[in-house]
Amino acid sequence: MKEISVVELKAKIDAKEDYQLVDVREQYEIDICSIGGDSIPMGTVLNETEKISRDKQVIIHCRSGQRSAAVIMQLESAHGYENLYNLTGGILAYADEVDNSLTKY
């Protein structure tokens, strides 16, 4: 599985690169803290694959990186995606290493 660090993601954000960020957490988690991106909760992502790009890098994240890793494995095996990257450490790592103003939960 391909991965991207939170520092690498921040560099992409700052450079305004063309990529898709997908948050697979539940809405109540997004309400606590968010780094943006498209909200497609883990429980619905396999039914909403039309929302996930095949034409550019897609970075998928959750709280710690475990749910997003599971989603990536399912999307790659069941739908043939090859452009997915897991955000290592999830939003917790982003809060620790990039933006400590984010609320951790």
Closest CA to 85 of 65, 64, 105: 65
Q: Rounded to whole angstroms, how far apart are CA atoms 51 and 27?
A: 17
Tokens 């039309």 found at:
50
β-strands 38-39, 3-4: how paired?
unpaired
33 is catalytic: no
Find how far residue 17's CA is from the centre of its chain. 15
Task: List the catalytic residue out of 6, 21, 59, 62.
Answer: 62
Q: What residues are labeled active site?
A: 62
